[in-house]
Structure 1
Amino acid sequence: MLTVVRALVAALLLLQTPAHAAPIRDRQQWVLDALNVEQAWRTTKGAGVTVAVIDSAVDPDVKELRGRVTVGPDMSSGAVRREVTPGRHGTAMAGLIAASGADDGYVGVAPEVRVLSLPLAVAEDPDRVDPPLADDRAVIESPLARALRYAVNQGAQVVSMSIGTYGAHRSEREAVSYALGKGVVLVAAVGNDGKTEYARENGTSYWSFPAGYPGVIGVAAVDKQRRVASYSSDNLSVLVAAPGSGVPVVRRGSGYELSEGTSSAAALVSGVAALIKARYPGLRPDQVAQALAAGAKGRPADGYDEEVGFGVVDAGAALDAAATLGGQRRSVPVPDDQHFGQGEDSPPPTAPGPDAWRLWLYGIGVLVALVMFCGGIVVLNQRRE
């Protein structure tokens, strides 16, 4: 039971849409426009990058994902169990990131990436409201920590986490540090607590983890008009924002639905992070985060706020910012035949050991002292006589 409550989903509301609705590409175009994805596609579509989706299991038979999904073992328990049932939420998130657009179907932000699905037991009931959870320190390694380490060891360059719990866990902090140290970009939903009683009374929302861990890119949600979604959590874990309200997503099995929540926003930003890593694989996670923030549009008047962070992600501008960061060097090479500053080189240091001139002076001084001492004794003896 513990493994279920520690992997609560950052709520997603899925709504059925009529069969006679407009083609899915037309319905999702506003999302692609909001993120300026098509400009980024002139440079890359994410080929060569693997995005780990830590969520309910992804359905590998969805036509837009077929042939590009690897489903890992169930991370909800310590025992390795590979037979997992595809989940509604995980499939929707994977589609936002990686759907290929096959047969005029849904297209994700990074349609050429591969997906590593790492299943967790998540709550997919949109009507379920869970209170803040106390940190269970009796658990040595949480399911999320296990999933993060597995993702890194399997070569994922980006990890998408549209999940959240209240309260940090030591094993998760260590796993986050491990992933960042290996150059893996971590993206997470900040949560959907903007309308809770706590948020109304305190003017801020509960922190959700993993979004709250340092180094994790926390994503808030905006609507079609780029206004912050009322449900989106607002606190200092927010780095950037992306569409989250009324976002079309792929449905497990087939078909499409609409989503509401920071889950979708985080998945979309994970796709943009994958585009950056595909074009600039050497960028560190903090540089990817910096590129996303630097390229964001709709920046708040003060430059940053707790609702949308640095603004709404712009994939094209983020790639431009990444190009600048990719050209930065961490150190300046110095040729062997040159030195810092102008003028002559300092003289080489003298060899260690005694100074000959000083030894001679010391010896002469001792000799003079002895002569004077002996002379004094002779004078005293003569006076006595």
Structure 2
Amino acid sequence: MLGGNSRNRTHKRHVLGATAGACAALTVMGLAAVPAAADDVPDFRPEQWALASIGAQETWESTRGQGVTVAMLGVSVDEDHPDLRDNLEIDTEFGGNGNDTEQGTAAGGLIAGHGHGMDADGGVLGVAPDANLLVLPGDGELADAIGHAVDAGAQVVLLPDEVGDDEGRSEATDAAVRSGTLVVAPAGGEEDPNVLAVGGVDENGELIPDSPETSSIGLLAPGADLYTAGEDMGQTQVTGTRYAAATTAGAAALLGAEYPQLDPQQLRTALVEGSQQGAEGLPSLHVPSAAAQASGEAQDIPLVDEDLVEEDSPAVPVWFWFALVGVVLVLIILLLVLWVRRSSTDPYGVAAERREEDEKLAAERAEQARSEERPSRRKKGGRRRRK
């Protein structure tokens, strides 16, 4: 059973969009056009006080959570909701996507709602509207679901409210953090040093009703009267620590997209230390100052792990480089020899033609010499001289 509540103020979306009509009237002076009448698409963004309270929109010029995946465990979501469907993936490895989608859809909208489309004004926005949302429905097997989300590439994992003493959960969250995934959960559950526990405040900065003990809260975030995605492709208003944790998961996605070189502990430190003082002296989420804190953490951290590169790239022995240079020189010499030999050949047959002419001329001269050496024949007989 997930925590939080929603008011019965769900607004239906006009599925077919705004329909326009026009009226025209002929007058003596000409044709006068009447302005078109249209059904307005509800736009609840001005009422999303949480976005302004944590300063999320101040960071959207540099990051909107693109490239980061946030996994929600143990909930079902309306996969056809227009504010979610473009960046939503439902993984049924641990259970099917059920009919009770109210709280899962609301939490998903607070994390990564993107409105009714890229070119529409209606709907609601999440803290990280360009982030990917991975939903793993199903009860139980929380430890396995955490590991599955990490294997699927989730950089942020949001746990459900009431997980009890799930066997192996702490081991799973520890493995997730060591793998580079930040784990966020509503405060009040089982204490786990690997999990950032979040409590909720209202618009006045006061703790929401039924808040857990302050000692169990690691960070405060908006969690009361939040407009978000609702059932039946509409919008709704919700209150609860579950939704404060969802808001924080969206903020973590913003920082993770802007500073991917930070590990989960550094990301968590940026969210907590880069905060403002909230109710009961607890840190309260503020994205711009958290981003400044993260920027300072990331200054001396390269985007590529140089140690990992050195481990993956074995050293090449010196003799190999000498052998390689020798092979290259031999190849160059062979190419030069081939080029010289080819260039010195008689590609047009001139030399062969000259040899043929010389042989013919020599044959003619030999024949002429033989004819000159033959003795001349004298004619027998003739006139005798008279005595």
TM (normalized to structure 2)?
0.66
Contact 1:239 1:308 in 2 (8 A): no
2:217 matched residue in structure 1: 238
Tell me, in whole angstroms, the C-alpha distance in 1 between the residues paired with 2:87 and 2:205.
32
The aligned amino acid for 2:204 is: Q
Instruction: Find the partner of 1:249 among 217, 221, 228.
Output: 228
Q: Helix, strand or coil for the counterpart of 1:112? A: coil
1:45 aligns with 2:64: yes
The structure with more radius of gyration: 2
1:163 aligns with 2:155: no
Q: Helix, strand or coil for the counterpart of 1:187? A: strand
Structure 2 portions without partners, runs of 5+: 13-39, 308-387
The alpha carbon displacement at 1:21 in A equals 11
Q: Helix, strand or coil for the counterpart of 1:115? A: strand
Contact 1:294 1:321 in 2 (8 A): yes
The alpha carbon displacement at 1:165 in A equals 3.5
Q: Helix, strand or coil for the counterpart of 1:217? A: strand
The alpha carbon displacement at 1:250 in A equals 0.7
Tell me, in whole angstroms, the C-alpha distance in 1 between the residues paired with 2:167 and 2:9.
40
Q: Aligned in 2, Cα 1:83/1:120: closer, same or farther, shift over 3 Å?
A: closer
The alpha carbon displacement at 1:309 in A equals 3.1
Tell me, in whole angstroms, the C-alpha distance in 1 between the residues paired with 2:210 and 2:41.
27
Tell me, in whole angstroms, the C-alpha distance in 2 between the residues paired with 1:17 and 1:59.
14
Instruction: Find the partner of 2:45 among 12, 17, 25.
Output: 25
Q: Aligned in 2, Cα 1:328/1:314: closer, same or farther, shift over 3 Å?
A: same
| CA RMSD in angstroms, aligned pairs only | 2.5
Residue identity over aligned pairs, in percent, reads 31
The aligned amino acid for 1:58 is: V
The aligned amino acid for 2:89 is: T
TM (normalized to structure 1)?
0.66
Q: Helix, strand or coil for the counterpart of 2:157? A: strand
1:262 matched residue in structure 2: 241
Q: Deviations over 1:289-315 (max 9, x none)?
A: 110112211256xxxxxx5632x2011
Q: Aligned in 2, Cα 1:275/1:17: closer, same or farther, shift over 3 Å?
A: same
The aligned amino acid for 2:154 is: A
Q: Helix, strand or coil for the counterpart of 1:16? A: coil
What does 1:306-345 align with in structure 2 at a 5 Å threshold?
Answer: 309-310=282-283, 312-328=284-300
Tell me, in whole angstroms, the C-alpha distance in 2 between the residues paired with 1:308 and 1:10.
24
Structure 1 portions without partners, runs of 5+: 1-7, 76-80, 122-141, 192-207, 301-306, 334-385
Contact 2:4 2:243 in 1 (8 A): no
More helix by share: 2
1:11 matched residue in structure 2: 4
Tell me, in whole angstroms, the C-alpha distance in 2 between the residues paired with 1:225 and 1:269.
18
Tell me, in whole angstroms, the C-alpha distance in 2 between the residues paired with 1:275 and 1:262.
20
Instruction: Find the partner of 2:263 among 284, 290, 294.
Output: 284
Q: Deviations over 1:313-343 (max 9, x none)?
A: 011111111011112459999xxxxxxxxxx
The alpha carbon displacement at 1:288 in A equals 0.9
Instruction: Find the partner of 2:126 among 108, 111, 114.
Output: 108
The alpha carbon displacement at 1:47 in A equals 0.5
Contact 2:156 2:181 in 1 (8 A): yes
The alpha carbon displacement at 1:35 in A equals 0.8
Instruction: Find the partner of 2:173 among 170, 173, 176.
Output: 176
